[in-house]
Chain A
Amino acid sequence: MASRYRLRYRAIGSNWLWLVVLGVCFWGEGTQQARAVPQFARRYNLKCSACHTIVPVLNEQGYLFKRLGYHLPPALVNGQPGSAMSYIVRSEPKWDLFNNLSVAVTDFSFQTDRSTTEGTTPTSTSAFQVNAWNSYAAGWIPDTNFFYFSEFDIVTDGATNPQLMNAYFGYSGGNARSSWYVAGGREHLQIGEGSRAAQVYSLLPSSPLLFETAGPTNFMIDQAPVGIDAGYTWASDGYKRVFAATAKVTNGDNADGSEILGPSTKNAKDLWLDLDYWYAPESGVTFLNYYGRKNQIQNSGLSDQFTYEPTIRRQGVFANYMLPNSKVDVLGGYLHSKDDWQQTSGVGDGYFKANDCFGEGDYYLKPGLVIATRYDLLHQTIPNGPGLESIHDWTIAGNKNFTPSGNIVGRLGYSYSSGRDPSTAVKSTSSQFQADIMFNF
């Protein structure tokens, strides 16, 4: 699963930590005046904050940048037609390797965690670690409407686990006012990420629980499946209103919840639909629908173990409202889950159901400095289980840009969660503190 900012506590060997630190210093020293910003900022000589509120959260321009095939949205002047995609691609700066490559998007962190579970001894962990190290190659084929995006993750959640998290290729057409694209390959979540509240990326140390929590059928929204997708985007004058629709067909998941990346006996495909509406300044609404099937291993390891193929359904609504002073952003989201459920082979028991939500408030003290807090609530129930169970999570964090461009970001965060498992009703709690610094070169 594709959570680059989720916490895990396996520190990599200290030798590697030093090598990476030295490497980043080398890179920063060698390129401090020339190229010490990521690829897209280099291409246009713009700050990171042109497309992000604070990295990695996208603003409206960053969202449109992706949907136009990694091209900067041109001005949309009142009453005039938008520039054609073929014109936009010809107006790009000359392609070179260095404005299509970012080799060191890294996150160093210190984390402490205390967890309790009913019937077991409480545990505490703490670690300094390289939390993430990702490299990106993304851009366009010169003078064509073709674009590509690849993300190679070397360290994920503190563990060395090299994998190609994104690798897709696409074609965009139309014009800046009314554009479309088709793309195929491995893509993390929705290609456009959705409007602000529907983004997996967050100002807090972890994403909203409703994206990240796997249900009893081992399915979670945050994933990077292989498939094809098509999108349409419409924008009004000056991008004051943007409407976007995306449809996606993907391979789906293995029984353990990991993405099917190679050949499989599974015949059904998963369907995703995403509708986004942005309205100025920086506010938006997203509707998300998922429908798919997967193999589910029930009663694993027991004598009555069996496999069945439940249908998985998710519908969600997400919205944010940024006050006109651009200082206060209020976000919220709701996701409904309904999965086929069998406790005995061949006997349909009903459905695993969940109603999950979150509410978040972000206060921008000034550009590049924000305090954010979020409350997550999951309500889950399974047939013949212990009944309706809940999980609560409170999180607070501060983010600060350490450079004018915003390519080095520091963050302090604390979260506390408690709740009961929907199948066993065992109560567990967790409190976490995280301090991290992210370099984007």
Chain B
Amino acid sequence: MRKKRFVRYAFFVYCGAGMLTLAAQDNVRSGDTGKKEGGIEIFTQNGPDSKQSINVVPIELRHGFHLFQAKCAQCHSLDRTLQKSNLSVDEWGDVVYRMQDMASSHMTPPQSAAIAKYLVWNDGFQQKAGRP
């Protein structure tokens, strides 16, 4: 009986925490985690993965495209990654090579180079398409 009462109590605490979450959404900081859009912190882990068709990717960059999908999607939502960035070629290289040295990537330097080349091309592609 005491256990039932305890579980009931735990359930209400749990629902209360959910309501607190909703109430707090307008006040949370965006920080280094989710991006803040319209006052709500957006987390992208469950965002759609890349919808980019391989047909638009030049043949010489398709190896990098496949590696990008296989390696980067391990941790990141690819849809957000594929939005246009303002990174230069060198900056994209820095980002990818830093990821190469993370524990979960298991990428070789040639694989990193192929991914960086593809991402630089993608930036230009998104710009031509007029995407934000």
* A residues lining the B interface (CB < 8 Å): 13, 16, 19-20, 23, 26-27, 30-31, 33-37, 41-51, 59-61, 64, 73-78, 93-94, 96, 98-99, 101, 103-104, 135, 154-155, 160-162, 235, 237-240, 280-282, 326, 367, 403-405, 407
Contact = CB atoms under 8 A, between A and B. Distances in A.
Given A237-B101, A404-B45, 15 more contacts: A23-B15, A31-B22, A33-B42, A33-B43, A34-B25, A36-B43, A36-B46, A42-B34, A45-B44, A47-B45, A47-B74, A60-B104, A77-B98, A403-B46, A404-B47
A16 B43 CA distance: 31
A44 B32 CA distance: 7
B128 interface: no
Contact of B3 (A19, A23, A162): A162
21 contacts: A27-B14, A30-B18, A30-B21, A33-B40, A41-B45, A47-B77, A50-B75, A75-B101, A75-B102, A76-B101, A93-B33, A94-B29, A98-B21, A98-B24, A135-B14, A161-B3, A162-B10, A238-B105, A367-B74, A404-B46, A405-B77
A169 to B, nearest CB: 22
Contact of A46 (B49, B76, B103): B76
Nearest to B45: A405
Contacts of A96: 28-29
Given A49-B74, A280-B106, A35 B21 contact: yes
B130 interface: no
Contact of B43 (A45, A160, A281): A45
Given A19-B11, A45-B34, A51 B46 contact: no
Given A60-B104, A94-B31, A31 B18 contact: yes
**Size category, B interface:** 35 or more
A60 B103 CA distance: 7
A135 B43 CA distance: 21
A51 B33 CA distance: 16
Contacts of A48: 45
B4 interface: yes
Contact of B33 (A60, A75, A99): A99
A281 to B, nearest CB: 4
Contacts of A37: 43, 45-46
